[in-house]
Amino acid sequence: MYRIRFHGRGGQGMKTASRILGTAFFLEGYEVQDAPRYGAERRGAPIFAYVRADSKPINERGIILNPDLVIVADDSLVPVPAAGVMAGITAHTLLLINSNEEESEWRHRLNLECPVLILSLKEEVSERAELPYIGATCTGASARLTGVISNRALEQAIREELSELGTTVIEKNLENALAAYESMADNEGAITEGGLASADSYALPGWIDLPFEDARTSAPAIYAPATSVEVKTGLWRTQRPIIDYDLCKKCWWICGSYCPDGAIEVEESLPIIDYDHCKGCLVCVAQCPSHAIEAIPEAQAQALEAETQEGEQK
């Protein structure tokens, strides 16, 4: 059975990618499961989707714990624990990362035994939450890696799954998917079907004893209210809203009221963004009447912060 997992961010088309790959498998005569898994339905939030394909009926259910292939559409997710990119990876797993970094660099960073392939970005994209057409691109590469999906089946699957989006969108997705399909020609059939999990090989989890904590810290939110502040959802952000206070008219109620997460506080009539919890949805950018809030890539913002801190230390 093929067990394949797609990782990306909300807005990058991972759900669609899994559907296209599942349809392509089906067109080649396979039994298929495909499904997305995500928490907050918000652009930029980590999301994964999975596909199972087998020549026999599939009795497994639930998420894929030991994948044969893991596709990472956005390499900024790799170090984010909540994304679970590395969960269940073994020496058998093939890891495909959409990145500008070299394979050797990722192997060194992650200390992996499994094979690593790079799906190179042609250029850095300022809006990482979108990465246009990356879902179809990842699907095309993964289809070739299976060695059992033809480009004809891939094309038909894209046309079926994207039929409601119009000819222009379909053709652009086809162009990217088929280019990625050809780019993996040297690695055709690189992933192999994983065997069925045996109950005899089941090992108990390595439990860790933790000291008892106060219920307000450790209990689920349903029992202890107001705990969401402990979850630093700013890790989801790929674009950072920046306030230009020279342009700000102090009409704080607009950006503060429209922020869906209450991440904009007000001090002396000036709005202040809580970057620990700002998810980068950019609603504030769209609503600011004086255009005092602009968005810049998160990586650029972090680089500016580092320069500022370095200057202060000197």
| Whether residue 148 is found in the same domain as residue 33 | yes
Give the model's pLDDT for residue 39: 67
Q: Which two tokens stand for residue 24?
A: 């392509």
Residue 219 within any structural domain of the chain: no
Residue 215 within any structural domain of the chain: no
Yes or no: say if 140 and 178 are a contact pair by the CB < 8 Å rule. Answer: yes
| Whether residue 14 is found in the same domain as residue 58 | yes
Give the model's pLDDT for residue 206: 73
| Whether residue 44 is found in the same domain as residue 191 | yes
| Whether residue 13 is found in the same domain as residue 127 | yes
First to last CA, the chain: 58
Cα(163)–Cα(189) distance, rounded to whole angstroms?
A: 29
Q: Lowest-confidence range among 95-109, 111-125, 134-148? A: 111-125
User: Which of 179, 196, 213 is the last residue before a domain boundary?
Assistant: 196
Give the model's pLDDT for residue 147: 93
- Specify the CATH number for the domain of residue 236: 3.30.70.20
Q: Which amino acid is at 58?
A: I
User: Which of 153, 172, 196 is the last residue before a domain boundary?
Assistant: 196
Residue 103 within any structural domain of the chain: yes
Q: Is residue 28 pLDDT above 50, yes or no? A: yes
**Between residues 220 and 230, the one the model is more confident about:** 230
Which range marks the domain in which residue 145 is found? Answer: 2-196
b/e sequence 249-270, b meaning 16+ C-beta within 10 Å: eeebebbbeebebebbeeeeee
| Whether residue 15 is found in the same domain as residue 151 | yes
Q: Which two tokens stand for residue 222?
A: 């349903």
Q: 72: part of which helix (H) or strand (E)?
A: strand 69-72
Residue 213 within any structural domain of the chain: no
Across the chain, mean pLDDT equals 85
pLDDT tens track for 176-204: 999 999 999 999 999 988 877 666 766 77
Check residue 10 and report its DSSP letter.
T
Say which residues have a Cβ less than 8 Å from residue 191's Cβ, sequence separation at least 6: 2, 4, 68, 69, 94, 145, 146, 147
Cα(251)–Cα(40) distance, rounded to whole angstroms?
A: 29
Residue 202 within any structural domain of the chain: no
Residue 250 within any structural domain of the chain: yes
Cα(142)–Cα(68) distance, rounded to whole angstroms?
A: 11
Q: Is residue 126 pLDDT above 60, yes or no? A: no
Radius of gyration of the CA atoms of the chain, in A: 22
Q: Which amino acid is at 49?
A: A
Q: Is residue 61 pLDDT above 90, yes or no? A: no
| Whether residue 45 is found in the same domain as residue 186 | yes
Give the model's pLDDT for residue 72: 94
Is 217 exposed, middle or buried, given 0-12, 13-18 or 19+ CB atoms closer than 10 A? Answer: exposed
| Mean pLDDT calculated for residue range 234-262 | 88
Q: Is residue 130 pLDDT above 90, yes or no? A: no
**Strand pairing category for 46-54 and 31-38:** antiparallel
| Mean pLDDT calculated for residue range 245-251 | 90
Yes or no: say if 270 and 252 are a contact pair by the CB < 8 Å rule. Answer: yes
| Whether residue 172 is found in the same domain as residue 274 | no
The rounded percent of the chain whose pLDDT value lies above 90 is 45
| Whether residue 244 is found in the same domain as residue 163 | no
Phi, psi of 69 (to 5 degrees): -140, 130
Whose tokens are 């939110």? That residue is 221
| Whether residue 42 is found in the same domain as residue 174 | yes
> Domains in the chain: how many in total?
2
**Strand pairing category for 116-120 and 239-243:** unpaired
Residue 203 within any structural domain of the chain: no
The rounded percent of the chain whose pLDDT value lies above 70 is 87
Q: Is residue 42 pLDDT above 90, yes or no? A: no
Yes or no: say if 64 and 5 are a contact pair by the CB < 8 Å rule. Answer: yes
Q: Is residue 127 pLDDT above 70, yes or no? A: no
Q: Which two tokens stand for residue 273?
A: 């963004």
| Whether residue 131 is found in the same domain as residue 66 | yes
User: Which of 176, 196, 216 is the last residue before a domain boundary?
Assistant: 196
Residue 205 within any structural domain of the chain: no
pTM above 0.95, yes or no: no
Give the model's pLDDT for residue 129: 46
- Specify the CATH number for the domain of residue 147: 3.40.920.10
CA distances from 207 to 86, 203, 204, 210 (A): 19, 11, 8, 9
Q: Is residue 205 pLDDT above 50, yes or no? A: yes
| Whether residue 65 is found in the same domain as residue 112 | yes
Question: Model confidence at 122, in pLDDT bands (50, 70, 90)?
Answer: low
**Strand pairing category for 69-72 and 94-99:** parallel
DSSP per-residue string spanning 19-63: HHHHHHHHHTT-EEEEEEEESS--TTSEEEEEEEEESS-----SS
Give the model's pLDDT for residue 223: 55
Q: Is residue 113 pLDDT above 90, yes or no? A: no
| Whether residue 192 is found in the same domain as residue 243 | no
Calculate the CA dihedral of residues 77, 64, 176, 153 and round it to 10 degrees: 180
| Mean pLDDT calculated for residue range 216-225 | 56
pLDDT tens track for 273-309: 999 999 888 899 989 999 999 999 888 898 888 888 8
Give the model's pLDDT for residue 37: 86
